[in-house]
Structure 1
Amino acid sequence: MEIFEGPSAVDRPERHYAGIRVVTPFRGMFAVRDELMSELHARYDSGLTFFRLHVIDMDGPMDIEVGVVTDSPPEPDGRIRPGVLPAGRYAAMTFANHGRRANGTLIDWIRAQDLRMDVEESREGDRFACRYEAYLTDPRTERMKTKWHTEVAIKLR
């Protein structure tokens, strides 16, 4: 893993997006992510693409969403729905390669700084107010995922 920026605590504005949200097992989740990205990119030609983790249960179903940031709230279109990345303080880090390790590094940093993630434990898993990986490298122009510059961000309380 290569870290380009952070970890650090940053303020983020509210951002509108068009997204497709599904529940899928952890195993195979990234193939589902890639399919959802293709479906969104067929409709939205530009905008920051991200992978949002609403509920995480590594042993059960994962509640995930792929979105594209838009200038204003989009109209619903089939499976594509409007959404909002909420404003607030986030722990964030920009990296390339090894997303799972990067997420672990960010969570370790949050704990070491005595910060609190905006997350609730539930029977379904850990329910995050907002946790995402934003693809700063356009996945349509760089096919090698190990070269993508990615920002992982977790909303803080």
Structure 2
Amino acid sequence: MTTFTVEDRAERPWVGVSMTAELAHWDRVNAHVPRIYGALAAAGGIPQGGPIYQYRRLRTAADPMDVTVSVPVPACVELGDGFGTGVLPAGRYLVARPEGGPDALERTHRDMWEWAGVQGLDLAVDERADGIHWHARTEQFLTDPQSEPDRSKWAVEVAYLLR
């Protein structure tokens, strides 16, 4: 069972690429990770951890979703065409660090949503006709896949901004 915590966090600057994507073509999303790190290195920027996937709009797992693939940085740095910058907002976050790597994420998200409801936590979302719009919903990969090829051993952190 995954443990959930509520944490106060400062804002976190990032650089990245935003897109609309489908799970069936997630390889296209993942392809941006080395591009971002490469552009950041070329600009003299220093990453502050593993890649963060920011889910901005979701309906169902089968529908296209708006996502930003980003890398945390100490301060925003312009990388040029095709790259954006921003900050994850400061605030209270519901956080989970599930065991099982990416394969545990679907269950973790379902359990977090249910746990938040039971605890009376108000997730920072807006429900609209085109899906759920998240103020901040992230998955940050904490393990370098080149140093640990076994996906089940990857450390991942899931965080939802609370109102």
Counterpart code for 1:62:
M
Structure 1 unaligned blocks of 5 or more = none
1:46-91 per-position Cα deviation (integer Å, ceiling 9, x unaligned): 3322111000122422000111000111114221111111000010
Q: Is the 8 A contact 2:142 2:154 kept in 1?
A: yes
Judging by fraction of residues, say which structure has more helix. Answer: 2
Question: Are residues 43 and 139 of structure 1, via their aligned partners in 2, closer, same or farther at CA, if it must alter by over 3 Å?
Answer: farther
- The count of aligned residue pairs is 153
**Superposed structure 1 runs of 4+ greater than 6 Å apart:** none
Structure 1 residue 140 displacement after superposition? 4.1
Length-normalised TM-score, structure 2: 0.86
1:9 and 2:6 are equivalent in the alignment: yes
Judging by fraction of residues, say which structure has more strand. Answer: 1
Q: Is the 8 A contact 1:52 1:65 kept in 2?
A: yes
Alignment counterpart, residue 24 of structure 2, candidates 19, 23, 27: 27
Structure 1 residue 106 displacement after superposition? 1.4
Structure 2 unaligned blocks of 5 or more = 42-46
Partner of 1:83: 86
C-alpha RMSD of the superposition: 1.7
Q: Is the 8 A contact 1:93 1:151 kept in 2?
A: yes
1:103 and 2:99 are equivalent in the alignment: no
Q: Is the 8 A contact 1:33 1:51 kept in 2?
A: no
SS at match of 1:116: coil
